[in-house]
Amino acid sequence: MAKDSDNLLPVHAAPAESPLDAPFPSKRMLVNLGPSHPAMHGTVRAVVELDGETIHGMKLDIGFLHRGFEKTCENVTWTQVFPYTDRLNYVSSIMNNVGYAMAVEKLCDLEIPERARYLRVITSELHRICDHLTLVSAMGLELGAMTVLIYGMEARDLIWDRLTELCGARLTSNYARVGGVSRDMPDGWAEKVLRTLDRSAEMADEIDRLLTRNRIVIDRTRGTGVISRADAIDYGFTGPCLRASGEPYDVRKASPYLVYDRLDFEIPVGTNGDNFDRYLMRMEEMKQSDRIVRQCFEQMQPGAIASDDARFVLPPKPEVYGTIEGAMAHFKIIMEGIQVPPGEAYACVEAANGELGFYAVSDGGGRPYKLGVRAPGWNMLMALPQIMEGHMLADLIPTFDTVNMIGGEVEQ
């Protein structure tokens, strides 16, 4: 008996002529992902060439959400551009407002009051938390962890409730103005924000406990969607995606704007440049943003929230209704737009996804002559075909999540 079984060959060593051994005929296949696909975050179309489940080639087709942002901005006054910038990255609109306002202020050579700077930082960092919560919970959802989305959305909406009390809208905040911000904090707002931050930090911890050591999440994200530090720089990555690859570039530290030089916070830096590191960057940055907001509330003093330079900022309402000069100044700014001195300037801020830059050109009139947007998501999306080459189709989904392409800003 023992001798007979020795002669039996294991199945996998059967002669190649066996029909069981015939290779599986695989045919290259083109798959269209999007433009309307729940995991394609808006309206990106990816054409993927598959061999089995492996991606052999990928081309991205964007523009389905192109709304002519630049053309529109060239035809409205400088102030009217603010609502359009809200719709670039609609999850963290205040950072877009601030970036654009800083570009115009650079052209106008305008200093803004201290309190306005703090308010811009506070609202930007609150929105950064919102943006990162969205990313983390959407990633959880798409990897099958629906609960995470519910926690994330609850925390995000709490913060949006506070921002609604400040600027009247959840998403389209339209908060910054050339020369300052549009509204001061309502009474008791700081305490409410601190309570909200406590609650949202609890939720973020909950998400952390659900995801960070979760076997499935680790298997799906660690080692997938890898980009090296050199490639990330070469592609122009910025923000958490660049830092996950090990390059500690952050506009807030590299060229501090507003009051970031007075605040104590750290920049998390990853090592592997994979989806898991990009996720971890977001989790840590939320904690740092929390710290920044708390410090701002401690440091800020009462004062003006907008510059009093009558060339660029609307006069106070009592003057508009009470004096002819005030009424005229108001009328001219509203009807003709602020007269920005001719020239060109580039200003950038660290938005939730990286360096958000505005290149503004003025011909001296009331409207932008040219307004270019360096959207951070652009570079990350551009690199996707290279990142995904030779990897599984299923890995495309978490990679698409962690590069956090926002259709509004990429497709303008």
Partner 1 sequence: MSQAALQKLKERFPDAVTQTYTGKGGDDVALVKKEAIAEVCRFLKEDPDLLFDMAPYITAADYMGSEPRFDLVYQMYSTRKNHRIRLRVGVPESDPVVASVTPVWKGANWYERYCWDMYGIRFEGHPDPRRLYMYEEFVGHPLRKDYSLRGRQPLMPERTVDEPFRGPGPTGG
Q: Which residues contact 225 (CB under 8 A, 6 or more apart)?
A: 274, 275, 278, 387, 388, 391, 395, 398, 399, 402, 403
The phi and psi torsions of 355 (rounded to 5 degrees) equal -70, 115
Smallest gap from residue 150 Cβ to partner 1 (A): 35
Q: Which lies closer to partner 1 via its Cβ, residue 28 or residue 262? A: 28
Binding residues for partner 1 (CB under 8 A)? 27-30, 62-63, 66, 68, 70-71, 75, 106-107, 109, 231, 233-238, 247, 249, 254-255, 341, 343-347, 355, 357, 359, 361, 369-370, 372, 374, 378-379, 381-383, 386, 411-412
CA distances from 113 to 17, 100, 215, 314, 339 (A): 82, 17, 49, 15, 20
Smallest gap from residue 381 Cβ to partner 1 (A): 8
Q: Which lies closer to partner 1 via its Cβ, residue 163 or residue 384? A: 384
DSSP state of 247: -
Smallest gap from residue 175 Cβ to partner 1 (A): 22
Q: Which lies closer to partner 1 via its Cβ, residue 186 or residue 342? A: 342
CA distances from 208 to 79, 204, 205 (A): 40, 6, 5
Residue 40 to residue 407: CA distance in whole angstroms: 9
Smallest gap from residue 71 Cβ to partner 1 (A): 6
Q: How many CB atoms lie within 10 A of CB 25?
A: 5
Q: Which lies closer to partner 1 via its Cβ, residue 46 or residue 381? A: 381
Q: Which lies closer to partner 1 via its Cβ, residue 295 or residue 362? A: 362
Q: Which lies closer to partner 1 via its Cβ, residue 331 or residue 346? A: 346
The phi and psi torsions of 106 (rounded to 5 degrees) equal -65, -40
Smallest gap from residue 370 Cβ to partner 1 (A): 4
Q: Which residues contact 356 (CB under 8 A, 6 or more apart)?
A: 88, 89, 95, 96, 99, 348, 349, 350, 373, 374, 375, 376, 409
Smallest gap from residue 40 Cβ to partner 1 (A): 16
